[in-house]
Each structure stands twice: as structure tokens, then as C-alpha cells.
Structure 1
Amino acid sequence: MNAQEFSAGQWTRAIGTGVDPHEYRRVTDDLTSVADWGPSFARTAHAHVTRAEKAASSVSAGEHLLMAARWFHLATLAPYEESARAAAEADDALSRALTALEPGARHVSGDGFTGWLRGPRDAFGTVVVVPGLDSAKEEFLDLASALLARGLAVFAMDGPGQGVLAATTTLQPDYEQVISRVIDVLGVPHIGLVGLSLGGYFAARTAAMEPRVTAVATVSGPFRLDWEQLPPPVKALMTSRTGGADAARDFARDVDLSTLAPRITAPLLVVDGEQDAIPGVTNGSPLAHLAPHGTYLSVPHGDHLLGNARSDWLPHLSDHIAHTLSGTGA
């Protein structure tokens, strides 16, 4: 795959992350190979950090740092020898941004997780945003904003093998144990989960096993994986994030919600894009139909993570979580 094909494939995901589409075009138009992706995106992120350091107000500085965090994270989406550094810089930029913009935001870490808790301390509900195979807490800032606007508290996390923890840990099949520890540390009696891509599987799996989950939504989450059919780039990424080919194969074979879906008692919204067709991946329709209180939203023109169709699902998902946690119904 050449640089322009790769850039086109990442277009809606990057725009869904919240970067400026014109800046994305300027950066990617100059790429001569996929190997240029990481360095070019990191340079763009550093330019935003420089703007933050020269900003005339803490608000402007924080906004530039949030944008830097996005670009640093996106730098990790292509093979890049400095990926661990870019992930650490994304984490640092987000930390500095929230310190400037939201003094009440709290950094929370524990066994196998790290992230930021934002929103009112007396919020009527708290939502954990669960990232996927190569995503991180810096990718879904717009989702967090939509949930915060509805009065919710939001904990955006990196778990094992994700984001800033990817350099030192590997993906954990029993991810529900991590989220249970998150809930323990947050100290809230009821919680909502929003999982994206592979994070959708983690969220659904947790909802089946953790009774404190009272609202859940998945976006482009797999119901089942078939290792033999997965595309080589996905296999390579999973191999990297799990620590080896055998671990990746075992991990993929464990991704199957057939027996867990009927155990999800919380109201569940499953969001899929009909243009999201990855060989070896069964999308979320069976999950929605097997869960006792599942509903299914399929967007005809939506792709993976539906960055090209945000207005078709993001308000609805945010309302589903808010209404469920408030007890007013979806």
C-alpha cells in the first residue's frame, strides 16, 4: 500500500478524531511513503505544542495541546519506530491540556489502566470510554465532549496494550477485570461503558460479567473474529499488541460473544456502519439481537468507527447513555 492509499484509508478516522481536514490534507499530500506517516504527524503535533507555548491565554494553550494530543496519537497508526515516544507525548499533551482547561479533571491510574476523569464530581452518571486495538484515550475526545455536555462524568482510559501503556504491556483477553478495577477506583455504584472497535467487544464482555455496568454502547465492535480470515495488517497489529503470533491467534479465537451476549442485562446500543466490512470480522448485529435489551443502529454509509457519519450516531448514542444512567429511559 502506498502513502496516498494509506492516507485515504485513514481519512475518516482521522477526521473523526477531531483534526482539521485541511491540515490533514496538507500533511498527507506531502507523504512519499507510509514510513513518512509517523514522523510527519509527530512534527505536526510538535508544531501545535509550540503554538501552545506561545499562546496568549491558557485557553488557547489548552486547545493547541488537545490538538497536539490527537496528532501524536495518529502518528502511531502506521509502523513507526518512535511509536512509544509519540504515545507518551500524546499522553503528556493531554495532561497539560486538561490541566489548563479543566482544573477539576483528575488523572487516575491503577493496575493495568490509566486515564483522565472529567466532569462534575456530583454527576448523575459516569461513563468509561474503552479504546480498541490501536486506539487510545486521545482518539475519542469529541465523544467525551458529547457525554460531558449531557452532564455525565467521563473516564477516558488506556488499558493493557493500549495508548501510553502499549510500550510496556500487552492486550489482556479478560479486559473485564481491568474495568472492574477502574470501577473500584472511581468509587461509583453504577457506570456506563462506551467501547469503540475492539473496545466494543471489551465493553460488551464486561457488561455481561460486571453487574455494576448499567448502560452500554458499542461502536464498530466485533461480535466474533476469525483469525484465518483476518487481513495481514490486522494480524500483524494484533501480533504486536498481544506479544506474539501464538498469543494473537489465541486472543482472536477468544473474541466471540455468542455465549456472553444473552447475559448482558443493561440496555445496550450497538452501532455499526454498513460500509465497515473487514474479512474475518462479524459485526455487531448478532450482539444486538442476542442481548435481552439490545437495540441496533446500522448506518448505511458508515465506515469503521463511522467517522464519516458522526451526526447519524453520536447524538443518539450520547442520549442513550445519559437517559439510561439517569433512569429516564432511552
Structure 2
Amino acid sequence: MSVREFAAAQYTRAVGAGLDPPEYRRVTDGLASLPDWGPAFADTGHAYLRRAQKAASSVSAGEHLLTAARWFHVATLAPYTQAHRAAVEADQALGRALAALEPGARRVSGEGFTGWLRGPADAAATVVVVPGLNSAKEEFLDLSSALLARGLAVFAMDGPGQGVLAATTVFRPDWEQVVSRVVDALGVPRIGLVGLSLGGFFAARAAAMEARVAAVATVSGPFRLDWEELPPSVRDIMAQRAGGERAARDFAREVDLAALASRIAAPLLVVDGGQDVIPGVTNTEPLARLAPHGAYLSVPHGDHLLGNARSDWLAPLADHFLHTLNGGEA
């Protein structure tokens, strides 16, 4: 795939993550080849760090730092030898941004997870945001903002093999164990759980096996994976995150919700894009149909992660958690 094709394929995802469209085009138009992607995006992140350093107010500095975190994360989407460094810089920039903009935000870490807890200390409920194959907590800041605006607390996390933990941990299918430790660490009686892309599988599986998940949603999540049909680029990323091709094959075999869907007792919202057709991935309409309290929102023009259709699903998803966890009261 040429750098032009890759940039076009990543456009709605990058914009959905919060990058400015004209700036994205300026950066990608200047790329000669795909190996230039990571360095160019990291350089843009560093430019925002310099702006933060020169900012006249803590608010401006925090905003620049949030933007830097986004650019550092998107730097990791293409093959990049310094991907872990970019992930660390994304993590650090996010932490500095929250220190400037939300002093009450709290870092929470444990075995196999780390992230930021944001929102009111007396929030009626907390929603945990779970990333996917090569995403991270820095990618879904707009989703966190939508949930925070509804008075909910949010824990945006990296799990095993994700984000800042990708270099030191590997994927595992039994995410109910991860979520159980997260709930214990947060010290809350119940949570909402939203997973995006492969994170949708993680969230759905955890909801089926962890009783403290009181509401759940998936966005572009897989119902089942077929390793042999997955595109080579997806298999390569999964092998990197799982600890080798054999481990990735074994992991992919575990991504199957057929036997678990009926065990999801919590209210479930499944969001899919009609234009999201990845070979080897079965979209999650069967999950919504088989779950006792499942609802399905399909956006015909939506792509993977529906970055081109955010107005069609972001507010309904945030409202799903508002009404299921908070009795509909903002």
C-alpha cells in the first residue's frame, strides 16, 4: 500500500481521534513513503509540545498537550521503529494535559492496565473505555468528553498489549480478569463498559463474565475472527501485539462471542458501520440479537470506528450509558 492510499484509509480515523483535517492533509501530503509516517507525525506532536511550553495560560498549554497526545498516537498506526517511544510520549502528553486542564484527574494502574480516571468524584457511575487492536486511550478523547458532559466519570485505559503497555505486555482474550482488577482498583460497585474495534470483543466478553458490568456498548467490534481471512496488515499487527504469529493465531481463535452473547445480562448497545467490511471479521449484529437486552445501531454510511459518521452514533451511545447507569438524569 502506498503512503497516499494509507493516508486516505486512515483519514476518518485520524479526524475522529481529533486531528485537524487540513493539518492532517498537509502532513500526509508531504510524505514520500510509508516509513516517513511515524517520524512526521511524531515531529508534529513535538511541535505542539513546543507550543504548550510557550503558551500564555495553563488552558492553552493543556489544549496543545492534548493535541500532541493525539499526534503521537496516530504516529503509531503505520509501521514505525520508534512506535513505543511515540506511545510513551502520547501517554506523557495526555498526563500533562490533564494536570493542566483537570487537576482532579487521577492515574490508576494495576496488573495489565493503566489509565486516567476523570470526572466528578460524586458521579453516579463510571464508564470504562477500552481500545482495540492498535488503538490506545489517547484515541477516543471525544467519546470521553461526551460521557463527561453527561455527568459520568470516565476511566480511559490501556490494557494488555495496548498503547503505552504494548512493549511490555501482550494481548489476552480473558478480559474479564482485566476488567475485574480495574473495577477493584476504581473502588466502585459497578461500571459501564464501552469497547471500540477489537475492544468491542473485550468489552462484550467481560460483560458476559463480570457481574459488576452494569451497561455495555461496542463500536465496530468483531463477533468472530477468522485468522486465515484477515488482511496481512491486521495479522501483522496482531502478531506484534500477541507475541508472535502462533500466539496471534491462538488469540484470534478465542475471538468468538457465539457462546457468550446470551450471558450478557447488562443493557447492551451494538454500533456498526455499514461500510465497515474487513475480511475475516464478522460484525456484531448477532451479538445484539442474541444478548437478552441487546440493541443494534447500524449506520449505513459508517466506516470502521465510524469516524465519518460521529453525529449518528456518539450522542446515542453516550445517552445509552446516561440512561442505563444514571436513571436518565444529567
Distance in 1 (CA, whole Å) between partners of 2:100 and 2:13 is 27
The correspondence of residues 1-330 of structure 1 with structure 2, limited to 5 A, is: 1-328=1-328
Deviations 1:250-302 (A, max 9, x none): 00011000000000000000000000000000001000000000000000000
Distance in 2 (CA, whole Å) between partners of 1:59 and 1:124 is 27
Q: Quote the offset at 1:327 in angstroms.
A: 3.0
Q: Quote the offset at 1:176 in angstroms.
A: 1.5
Deviations 1:67-121 (A, max 9, x none): 0000000000000000000000000000000000000000110111000000001
Moved over 6 A (4+): none
Distance in 1 (CA, whole Å) between partners of 2:33 and 2:294 is 43
Deviations 1:175-212 (A, max 9, x none): 21011100001011111001000000000000000000
Gaps of 5+ in 2: none
Distance in 2 (CA, whole Å) between partners of 1:167 and 1:227 is 23
Distance in 1 (CA, whole Å) between partners of 2:289 and 2:135 is 27
Distance in 2 (CA, whole Å) between partners of 1:273 and 1:175 is 24
Distance in 1 (CA, whole Å) between partners of 2:170 and 2:34 is 25
Q: Quote the offset at 1:328 in angstroms.
A: 4.2
SS in structure 2 of the partner of residue 195 of structure 1: strand
Matched residue type, 2:32? T
Matched residue type, 1:84? H
Matched residue type, 1:54? K
SS in structure 2 of the partner of residue 282 of structure 1: strand
Matched residue type, 1:33? S
Deviations 1:215-271 (A, max 9, x none): 000000000000110010001010000001110000001100000000000000000
Matched residue type, 1:311? S
Q: Give TM-score, length-normalised by structure 1.
A: 0.99
SS in structure 2 of the partner of residue 296 of structure 1: strand
Moved more, 37-46 or 320-329: 320-329
SS in structure 2 of the partner of residue 199 of structure 1: helix
Matched residue type, 1:107? R
Aligned length: 329
Gaps of 5+ in 1: none
SS in structure 2 of the partner of residue 185 of structure 1: helix
Matched residue type, 2:46? H
Distance in 1 (CA, whole Å) between partners of 2:178 and 2:213 is 13
Distance in 2 (CA, whole Å) between partners of 1:2 and 1:41 is 17
Distance in 2 (CA, whole Å) between partners of 1:226 and 1:43 is 37
Distance in 2 (CA, whole Å) between partners of 1:175 and 1:41 is 31
Q: Give TM-score, length-normalised by structure 2.
A: 0.99
Matched residue type, 1:86? A
